[in-house]
Structure 1
């Protein structure tokens, strides 16, 4: 098969004429990558925020543009699935004040990629005393001279959690 020089030139010049697609430049605070030790520290802070809440941890370690998303929690609090669970730091702080402490165990930090941490955990407590397993993705940023949590994406076995809280469900299949 022969391709003419004209066809190759036309194709190349049309590709050059297309507008380039570029991402916006990353913000200065998001250019820094955390170390594995810093990621471990952030995971410890996360565990305190969700399982043994103290407002001072949130004030220091949650970024001003913090957001928490969890369809597992949305199902419990009757929020539409897919919406942020706690859209602001202030809403998250209010919600955490009413949560009793519970034992969370970090099973593994599976990935650390600059400002993102992926981890697995479980919590065994309450009436059923069964382990509810969960996965969390922590988005971070380095502001004010230290790492802060910018976003939480959390999903867990909400049916086991319901049993642990003393609830029940009926399977209709």
Structure 2
């Protein structure tokens, strides 16, 4: 019984204690949930309603986009950056049609990182391709900008929506 009482006392004191900042974040400004929602909307616009001026303003100078889902379409090595610079991303977005990205939820906000779930339904197959995106943000310019996009999605469904096909040999 003494063990249960001691455990209960420890648990209640831990709940009452103020949160301890994570290592390396003591002096770092963190996003509010509202700011995170704003960054998610900027991301959605970069994909669904691309305008170069949005990318110029809201993508950091050292921006990078990583996606093995996209790398598989572009015949690029898996595990490497998809768009290694802001300029390469901008050029790719100018040549891509807009995709109707619908944000399903903001799954987590952790200081300067936002995780979101989304889907896009379009094209020939009209099947929802679901995806997960992690946005790492920075406030070096005095306002929040996207520094890194890590995105993965159901690329086989996306392929069908783009009018492609695949054969399962299994």
Shorter-chain TM-score: which interval? 0.7 to 0.9
TM-score (norm: length of structure 1) = 0.83
2:121 aligned residue: 124
Q: Which has the higher strand share?
A: 1
Unaligned runs of 5+ in 1: 1-22
Shift of 1:143: 2.1
Is 1:52 the counterpart of 2:49? The answer is yes
1:144 shift after superposition: 1.9
- Is residue 106 of structure 2 the alignment partner of residue 109 of structure 1? yes
**DSSP 3-state at the match of 2:63:** strand
Asked if 1:134 is matched to 2:139, the reply is no
Tell me how large the CA RMSD over aligned residues is. Answer: 1.4
1:145: how far off? 1.5
1: CA distance, partners of 2:76 / 2:99: 23
User: Which of structures 1 and 2 has the bigger CA Rg?
Assistant: 1
- Give unmatched runs, 5+ long, in structure 2: 1-22
Aligned to 1:36: 33
- Distance in 1 (CA, whole Å) between partners of 2:137 and 2:81 is 17
Describe the superposition over 1:55-75 as per-residue Cα deviations: whole angstroms up to 9, x where unpaired: 000000000010100000000
Runs of 4+ in 1 over 2 A off after TM superposition: none
Structure 2 distance, partners of 1:58, 1:99, is: 14
CA–CA distance in 1 between the matches of 2:61 and 2:142?
14
Indicate which of 69, 75, 87 corresponds to 2:66.
69
2:78 pairs with 1:81: yes
The alignment of Structure 1 onto Structure 2 pairs a total of residues equal to: 148
Distance (whole Å) between structure 2 residues aligned to residue 110 and residue 77 of structure 1: 28
Q: What SS does the corresponding residue of 2:125 show, helix, strand or coil?
A: coil
Task: After superposition, give the CA deviation of every residue in 1:39-67 in whole Å (9 maximum; x if it has no partner).
Answer: 00000000001111100000000000101
